[in-house]
């Protein structure tokens, strides 16, 4: 394994294990189309029925999924909360711009016309939707 890949692989491995308890990190990639992730958003959920405690976003001119510095920052952020489970999609979830902030509510993002005719999210969820019971 290349050193450049170790952080991304560690997160993916934890996601593939499924639900192992709280805290949970959610990882979502966004981009102008379904080939390049220009943004990644990671949230931390400390316990069941709680909203996210922390949300961080990283941006990349390249592809955030292949950006070693971003993957390392995500890994360290998640490790700082002693995350037990990771939920992430296997693709790009949609446009990186925020409706109501970057463009008007109910409209199509003028910077990402690709998503106007594509259903979101792309891909399947890596983490199972149901929690395992203790």
Tens of pLDDT, residues 54-65: 999 999 999 999
Radius of gyration of the CA atoms of the chain, in A: 15
CB atoms within 10 A of CB 88: 22
71 lies in some domain: yes
Residue 13: give the domain boundaries.
3-117
Residue 40 and residue 70 in contact, taking contact as beta carbons nearer than 8 Å: yes
124 lies in some domain: no
- Which pLDDT score is estimated for 122? 52
Residue 33, φ and ψ in degrees, nearest 5: -150, -170
126 lies in some domain: no
Residue 92 and residue 34 in contact, taking contact as beta carbons nearer than 8 Å: yes
3-state secondary structure of 13: helix
28 lies in some domain: yes
- Which pLDDT score is estimated for 120? 66
- Which pLDDT score is estimated for 130? 45
- Which pLDDT score is estimated for 4? 60
Total of domains in the chain: 1
134 lies in some domain: no
98 lies in some domain: yes
- Which pLDDT score is estimated for 128? 40
For the chain, residues with pLDDT lower than 50 are 1-3, 124-134
Give the pLDDT confidence of 88-97 residue by residue, as tens digits: 987 899 999 9
Strand order in the sheet with 85-92: 54-59, 39-45, 24-30, 85-92
130 lies in some domain: no
95 lies in some domain: yes
């Amino acid at each position: 394994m290349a050193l450049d890949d170790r952080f991304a692989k560690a997160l993916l491995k934890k996601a593939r294990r499924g639900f192992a308890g709280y805290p949970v990190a959610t990882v979502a990639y966004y981009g102008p189309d379904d080939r390049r992730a220009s943004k990644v958003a990671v949230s931390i959920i400390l316990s069941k029925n709680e909203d996210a405690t922390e949300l961080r976003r990283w941006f990349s001119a390249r592809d955030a999924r292949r950006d070693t510095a971003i993957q390392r920052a995500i890994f360290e952020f998640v490790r700082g909360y002693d995350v037990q489970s990771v939920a992430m999609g296997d693709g790009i979830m949609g446009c990186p711009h925020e409706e109501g902030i970057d463009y008007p509510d109910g409209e199509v993002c003028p910077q990402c016309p690709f998503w106007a005719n594509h259903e979101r999210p792309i891909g399947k969820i890596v983490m199972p939707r149901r929690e395992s019971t203790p």
